[in-house]
Amino acid sequence: MATLPILLYPSPVIRKKSLPITSIDGELQRFIDNMVETMYAAPGMGLAAPQVGILQRVIVLDPSDDRTSHRPTVLINPVLVSGEGQIVDEEGCLCIPDLNEPVSRFKQVIVKGYDRKERELVLEGADLLARILQHEIDHLDGILFIDHLSTAKRLLLKQRLRKVAKDGT
């Protein structure tokens, strides 16, 4: 397995919509292994393929506090089926280092997708798991967590985002 380079804001790739995966083959399996390795090395709780420059609809996540027992969830072609309730909590992103802001998300979600063995998965998530699922699925559509902030808040962050764009910190 290999650690993949994570693209940083404002890379245009992370703003593009990903294409559905049509075949789960050995190449995709190796890529998923590398995504998992990259997520844990970052360290992060989730990673979407566009964050490492691949415009395909695949995400990996592990919301566990125990970072020694790796039990990642892999979702291929995930779709947010439903969401309810609202909760505001801090959110960050591996593509925008050292920036955390409160973001409103659904408190509970249902997501459908496929696992590595082409079996359909239905995940019901609440709180942190729901937040991670929404965040990573957003990446597949070229949406960043900062896009959920108010215009006023984005204007206040403009200078900080320019600094991130300039030197990655």
pLDDT band of residue 169 (cuts 50, 70, 90) is: low
107-116 tens-digit pLDDT: 999 999 999 9
84, 91, 101, 136: which is the annotated catalytic residue? 136
Q: Say if 6 falls within a structural domain.
A: no
Domain carrying residue 134: 12-164
pLDDT given at position 168: 65
Instruction: At 6, list the tokens.
Output: 């994570």
Sign of CA dihedral 35, 36, 39, 45: positive
Domain count, the chain: 1
Q: Say if 3 falls within a structural domain.
A: no
**Cα separation of 131 and 145, whole Å?**
11
Provide the 10 A C-beta neighbour count for residue 60: 24
Q: Say if 7 falls within a structural domain.
A: no
CATH number for position 69: 3.90.45.10
pTM above 0.75, yes or no: yes
Q: Say if 19 falls within a structural domain.
A: yes
54-69 tens-digit pLDDT: 999 999 999 998 767 8
Q: Say if 2 falls within a structural domain.
A: no
Tell me the average pLDDT of the chain.
95
Q: Would you call 118 a catalytic residue per the annotation?
A: no
pLDDT given at position 66: 78
